[in-house]
Amino acid sequence: MKLRKFVDRLPIMETLRPKSKNNKGAYYEVRMEEFTQKLHRDLKPTRLWGYNRQFPGPTIDVNQGEPIQVRWMNNLPHRHILPIDKSIHEVAHHPEVRTVTHLHGSETMSVSDGYPEAWFTKGFREVGPFFEREIYEYPNHQRGATLWYHDHAMGITRLNVYAGLTGMYIIRDKQEKGLNLPNGNYEIPLVIQDRSFHEDGSLKYPIQPDDPAANLPNPSITPFFIGDTIVVNGKVWPYVEVEPRKYRFRILNASNTRAYQLQLDSGQPFYQIGSDGGLLQNTVKINKLAIEPAERVDVILDFSKYEGERIILKNDLGPNAIPEDETDEIMQFNVNLPLSGKDNSSLPKRLSTIPSLIHNEISTIRNLKLVGSTDKYGRPLLLLDNKKWKDPITEKPKLGTTEIWSLQNITGFTHPVHIHLIQFQILDRRPFDLDLYNKDGKIVYTGEAKPPEPNERGWKDTVAAPSAHITRLIVKFAPYTGDYVWHCHILEHEDYDMMRPFTVIDPDRDGK
């Protein structure tokens, strides 16, 4: 379906207001409901699922050190709007519609983390084996950062997120506020996703992989999803009117599978000031931004020299792109608003202090493989360290200890790996000969270890682990004990079966 670009104004998500306040902080209520929303001028209303009947959901905006409580309420129908593969993760034995919300990037107690098996149904009539509570608590003690919340239900995360269950969560701190960055109307969140649509406006998602010769379950999970349309803040290829001045954009890639290579057709640079875990140490001037699923980038764009121009945010599809692929464009900036006053905001070179974890005592080095195999139907089955979700837990870091995780990617493509509870630092990436490894299982390096790019040298919770590379992370497991997960954030991989549990233990309490 061909839709005209840049005819709809970019929406800005509402900021969620608390229902009340008590001794545990502000209290919010969020309802997950089905509704319709018009995503493009020429597209019929689309049936969606959303938090508080919005796609994306309302932005939760809080201050560091001010805890909040959120009651997540499932008011969804009993039938899903997308095709459910019941051959994976015992999905056939569970209710069709289940939800559990994960606050991605948050340092949260395990009972409020959104464990995949802590799902619940409408009205909490049925709950998963790890169900803990109805009200989730978020302490917000970590540094200011752009986080996001989304559904995390076992085996159907890809469907629930694609149906619309995503939203942005911002923590602000004094350090950031003291930098005089663009704010208020000049700070804009951008939630980028890809979608496909039927002629009637409904969401289009594969019932099974495009392999007519295969004898697969119907529906059957697809190993990836790439939509033919780009949606930003719930509008297809929108535009935003801006003044000739500096703006701050908090950018989230909330797509199921698609990574983006962002650039501006004006040739102007991005000034990146933050990543997943908040401010970088120094501002990084960069012309092209790579952003994998679940990653966030915090950038400043300066439109002061572009008055009267229209600037397109592009997505570089590479040399093998097909001409009819329109996803090389994301949205348009129209620099046509009069300057409302002098731009007194700053673009500081120095932003924050990020102490390196490399000086910590390293308690454990874990060598973890990202591997590919096939299931009994011949479908791709991607695994972490060659283990499935139900296999015994093998990662049991001790509270307060620092570990190095070496992610050895022996598949043919990049995986964005996310670890719950913590923010980590990237040490380096080193290439090896994958063909030789596939022959004899030996690692033969083909180059030196390279440090992370300048814009990756802050706190991260999701890392791009490229094919035929060993990507090393340094991680301090704190401040909570309990059950968490780590997984590939390509949602089709996460659902089957590229996700593993880990447990942070207190050796004094647990006696281990």
Neighbours of 120 (CB within 10 A): 21
- Domain of 378, CATH number, reads 2.60.40.420
pLDDT at 479: 98
Residues 320 and 369 in one domain: no
Residue 248 lies in a domain: yes
Question: How would residue 28 be classed by pLDDT, with cut points 50, 70 and 90?
Answer: very high
In a domain, 141, yes or no: yes
In a shared domain, residues 97 and 232: no
Same domain, 308 and 383: no
Structural domain contains residue 350: no
Residue 321 confidence class, pLDDT cut points 50, 70, 90: confident
State phi, psi for 135 to the nearest 5 degrees.
-110, 125
Alpha carbons 415 and 378: distance in angstroms, whole number: 21
Mean pLDDT of 336-346: 96
pLDDT at residue 510 above 70? no
Does residue 370 sit in the same domain as residue 296?
no
At 80-119, the pLDDT tens digits run 999 999 999 989 999 999 999 999 999 999 999 999 999 9
Band of residue 132 on the pLDDT scale cut at 50, 70, 90: low
Tally the domains of the chain: 3
Q: Are residues 170 and 199 in contact, defined by beta-carbon separation less than 8 angstroms?
A: no
Task: Give the end of a domain, one of 119, 141, 172.
Answer: 172
Pairwise CA distance, residues 496 & 416, whole Å = 15
Q: Does one domain contain both 235 and 280? A: yes
Ranges of beta strands (E only) in 266-305 are 270-275, 278-286, 289-291, 296-302
**pLDDT value of position 229:** 98
**pLDDT, tens only, 238-293:** 999 999 999 999 999 999 999 999 999 999 999 999 999 999 999 999 999 999 99
In this structure, are 421 and 385 located in the same domain?
A: yes
Per-residue confidence (pLDDT) for residue 213, from 0 to 100: 59
Strands (DSSP E) contained in 361-420 are 362-374, 380-384, 402-409, 415-419
Read off the pLDDT of each residue in 388-399 and give the average, rounded to a whole number.
98
> What CA–CA distance (Å, rounded) separates 422 from 462?
10
Report residue 214's pLDDT band, with 50, 70 and 90 as the boundaries.
confident
Judge whether residue 1 has pLDDT over 90.
no
- 361 and 320 in one domain? no
Averaged pLDDT score across all residues of the chain: 96
Q: Is 511 exposed, middle or buried (0-12, 13-18, 19+ CB in 10 A)?
A: exposed
Same domain, 220 and 324: yes
| Domain match, 257 and 371 both | no
Least confident range of 1-15, 210-224, 341-355, 368-382 = 210-224
Domain enclosing residue 69, as ranges: 20-172
Residue 340 placed within a domain: no
Same domain, 479 and 431: yes
- 458: amino acid identity, one letter: G
